[in-house]
Chain A
Amino acid sequence: MLRFLGQRAAMGLLTIFVTTIAVTLLIHLVPGDPVEIMYAQSQGTTPEQIEAMRSSLGLDQPIPVQYLHFVGRLLQGDLGVTIRGQQSVAQLLLQRLPNTLALAALAMAIATLIGMPLGFLAAYKRGTLLDGVLMVTAIAGISIPHFWLGLLLLFWLAVDLGILPVAGSGPLNIVLPALTLGLSNAAIVARMTRSAMIDVMSQDFIRTAHAKGLPKSRVLRRHVLRAGLVPVVTVMGLQFAFMMGGAIVVENIFAWNGIGRLALEAIFQRDYPVIQGFILVFATTVVVVMLALDAVYALLDPRIRRS
């Protein structure tokens, strides 16, 4: 098990390492002079300010030096400053990250609580009308764009019925974005749970369990559910990555103050330090969560736990 987790951790570190390189190179892919572009929108910038930003980004040095410079600062938790306001990028991202994590976690809980039981039910009732209805609903569900669903929920629940706040950062404001993300992913969870459970149900040890006369409910609980959960947990890792990606869109619909909203503003303002920081934080978060889920996976699957 340690070996398995060690491999996963090494892969995660490699990903973060590659991200740091990509992020350093990113700014050189910008057509034209990135610093000029950054300041093109703001008036009254002095040449001194531009030079200061250029050297703060280290753009006046060769690329390998820039990279070392970047990593050196990164290790001290320094991601540079925003082009307007000169705020610390690391601080800004860390302030906003909990909002995005809360949103992704709540959305994942909603998706799991709706999708998993329905997927399990569909697998159990496989081939019946109920299964058919559930699966048609699921395929319709994965086809509805989450940004559209978000707008519809917004206008229905917040504007028409007025039961939820439209936008902002109060405690109730998380409900709409989380519901949007959760509902649109519930369909994916349901489809994946169903296929995982069907896989398990068709295996020999399930037939043996039935054959030795175990009651149906016991076979379902002790055998099918436990074995079927393993692949579902793996899928949850990918789900979390989807949630983080979806959060970028949904945060912007509901003005939820997460890193996705910050990133979009930064893209429009050409605030490259913020974009760099966002990519790093996003990738690191996904890597860490995936690793945590790998640990759960290893604990659930006895073949890995005992190896």
Chain B
Amino acid sequence: MTDVTDTADAPGREERKGRTPFVVRLVRQPAGAIGLAIVVALVAIALLADQIAPYSPIKMAAGRPLTSPSFEHLLGTDEFGRDMFSRIVHGARLTLQIGLIAVGISLTVGTLIGLVAAYAGGFVEKLLMRSTDVVFSFTETLIALAFVAVLGPSLENAMIAVGIAGVPFYARTCYASALGEEGKPYFEASIAAGAGHARLLFLHLLPNVVPTMIVIATLGLSNAILAAAALSFLGLGAQPPTPEWGAMLSAGRDFFNRAPWLMLYPGLAIALTVLAFNILGDALREALDPRSKDRS
């Protein structure tokens, strides 16, 4: 979070509401506060999963199979007698990891492509942005599916696939944002002052696209988590007995009549996590750029 605060105070941002610190502006919006609270809670659960979960997430026969939620098994047990609460808690850790790694890939590669395209101009710009357009029109699902098809179903491959599939969107956003920065007087001034390529790219352009990139990465986390869960649901991502929510949901549907909780809680967990990042992303965008209010 400290990163966000620093960059939001970077030069070149006009029309800010006084000098209210960024975090205050974020939390002052009810949506921002709620989103942040859920995300913080999720991170805490993920970090403390071993302490919170009463059983190992893959321990079979922790209780009788398919018992309904009780004091002993808060969310019941699955068909192998594994404790669902422990599996959901460990799933939080896994889900955040998947999201962060996938978004990390999209963000790093996308930002680099966008920056270089905007800075280099000419042929490099055309080549990079046209290829991005082409890849973009394949749609994320198809790219992710193609990668898993080639590499084979596994959680690692699903993360890589989702990460690569997201690159074009991040590259486009970064490119547009960097182009805007290049037109500003401070940028021209530093060219005139003789700043070198590295300085212009990494000390001027990069810090100024960071706020935008943070917003889309936050919203992107919800996308990545959904996409990876969908792959796992289809059997193309996490494999049993990994406590991944999408995979758990898929396994739980066979027992819907006898144990509806097996299908209810993993779905609820995904929805809540995705919702939290969506709300937080929207609130971040508003806090960073008050003019964007009312746009979705």
A binding-site residues for B, Cβ under 8 Å: 11-12, 14-15, 18-19, 22, 26-27, 29-31, 126, 135, 138-140, 142-148, 151-152, 155, 159, 191-192, 194-195, 198-199, 241-242, 244-246, 248-249, 252, 263-264, 266-268, 275, 279, 282-283, 286-287, 290
**Closest chain A CB from B197 CB (angstroms):** 30
Which A residues touch B142, using CB under 8 A? 244-245, 279, 282-283
Which B residues touch A148, using CB under 8 A? 249, 263, 267, 270-271
Interface centre among A145, A159, A245, A286 (most CB of B within 10 A): A145
Also in contact, A195 and B256, with CB within 8 A (given A147-B230, A264-B234, A267-B148)? no
User: B278 interface residue, CB < 8 Å from A?
Assistant: yes
A245 touches B153 (CB 8 A): no
The residue on B at minimum CB distance from A139 is B278
Chain B, interface residues (CB within 8 Å), range: 35 or more
User: B258 interface residue, CB < 8 Å from A?
Assistant: no
A242 touches B139 (CB 8 A): yes
The residue on B at minimum CB distance from A192 is B296
User: B58 interface residue, CB < 8 Å from A?
Assistant: no
B139 touches A198 (CB 8 A): no
The residue on B at minimum CB distance from A242 is B139
User: B19 interface residue, CB < 8 Å from A?
Assistant: no
CA distance A22 to B152 in the complex (A): 17
Which B residues touch A151, using CB under 8 A? 249, 253, 256, 263, 267
A15 touches B282 (CB 8 A): no
Also in contact, A191 and B222, with CB within 8 A (given A30-B150, A140-B275, A249-B234)? no
CA distance A287 to B295 in the complex (A): 28
The residue on A at minimum CB distance from B138 is A283
Query: What are some 11 contacts across the A-B interface (CB < 8 A)?
Result: A11-B137, A18-B135, A140-B275, A143-B271, A143-B278, A241-B137, A263-B145, A268-B235, A283-B138, A286-B138, A290-B137
CA distance A14 to B145 in the complex (A): 21
Which A residues touch B139, using CB under 8 A? 241-242, 244-245, 286
User: B51 interface residue, CB < 8 Å from A?
Assistant: no
**Closest chain A CB from B143 CB (angstroms):** 9
Which B residues touch A144, using CB under 8 A? 267, 271, 274
CA distance A92 to B134 in the complex (A): 27
Given contacts A11-B133, A245-B141, 11 further A-B contacts (CB under 8 A): A11-B137, A14-B134, A26-B150, A27-B150, A139-B275, A143-B272, A145-B226, A148-B271, A249-B234, A283-B138, A287-B137
Which B residues touch A244, using CB under 8 A? 139, 141-142
- List B residues 103-144 near A (Cβ within 8 Å): 130, 133-135, 137-142
Q: Which 5 A-B pairs have the closest CB atoms?
A: A245-B141, A148-B267, A143-B275, A191-B296, A143-B274
Also in contact, A126 and B294, with CB within 8 A (given A140-B275, A148-B270, A286-B137)? yes
B274 touches A198 (CB 8 A): no
Also in contact, A147 and B249, with CB within 8 A (given A245-B139, A275-B149, A279-B142)? yes
User: B2 interface residue, CB < 8 Å from A?
Assistant: no
Cβ contact of A245, chosen from B140, B260, B272, cutoff 8 A: B140
Which B residues touch A279, using CB under 8 A? 142, 146
The residue on A at minimum CB distance from B245 is A145
- List B residues 200-255 near A (Cβ within 8 Å): 222, 226, 229-230, 233-236, 246, 249-250, 253
Also in contact, A159 and B234, with CB within 8 A (given A30-B150, A151-B267, A279-B146)? no
User: B20 interface residue, CB < 8 Å from A?
Assistant: no
- List B residues 134-188 near A (Cβ within 8 Å): 134-135, 137-142, 145-146, 148-153
**Closest chain A CB from B211 CB (angstroms):** 20
CA distance A268 to B253 in the complex (A): 20
Which B residues touch A27, using CB under 8 A? 150
Which A residues touch B250, using CB under 8 A? 147
B270 touches A145 (CB 8 A): yes
CA distance A287 to B282 in the complex (A): 30
CA distance A43 to B278 in the complex (A): 48
**Closest chain A CB from B233 CB (angstroms):** 5
**Closest chain A CB from B230 CB (angstroms):** 5
User: B279 interface residue, CB < 8 Å from A?
Assistant: yes
Which B residues touch A283, using CB under 8 A? 137-138, 142
Which B residues touch A140, using CB under 8 A? 271, 275
User: B70 interface residue, CB < 8 Å from A?
Assistant: no
A26 touches B275 (CB 8 A): no
Which A residues touch B135, using CB under 8 A? 18
**Closest chain B CB from A17 CB (angstroms):** 9
CA distance A275 to B149 in the complex (A): 8
CA distance A273 to B15 in the complex (A): 56
